[in-house]
Amino acid sequence: MNCDIGAGPEIINEMKTIAGVSDAVQVSGIYDIVAKVTEESKENIVMLVKKIRRIDNVRSSLTMIVAEDSKSLAGAV
């Protein structure tokens, strides 16, 4: 996600209090924060993303859903 300059640590602290957010870190480059969320259904992911987007100073976000776990690819050619 993108956030206002200097707001990263505050946003990360708030995100870590939200159930379903398993990790959030500040990064450099096109995005400011990358977060990992874990939910059981698409509907729960949508609700969680909406909650995150409502955090003050979050400007934009991009949601990517893991289609296949790399662990299941072990030994594949």
Query: pLDDT tens digit string along 44-53?
Result: 999 999 999 9
Domain count, the chain: 1
| 73 lies in some domain | no
Residue 74 lies in a domain: no
Q: Identify the CATH number of the domain in which residue 48 sits.
A: 3.30.70.920
Q: Is residue 44 part of a domain?
A: yes
Query: For 5-44, what is each residue's pLDDT tens digit?
Result: 999 999 999 999 999 999 999 999 999 999 999 888 889 9
d(C-alpha 7, C-alpha 26), whole Å? 10
Banded pLDDT at 76 (limits 50, 70, 90): very low
- Structural domain boundaries, residue 38: 2-67
Q: Rounded to an integer, what distance in angstroms lies between the CA atom of residue 58 and that of residue 45? A: 18
Written in H, E and C, the secondary structure of the chain is: CEECCCCHHHHHHHHCCCCCEEEEEECCCCCCEEEEECCCCHHHHHHHHHHHHCCCCEEECCCCCCCCCHHHHCCCC
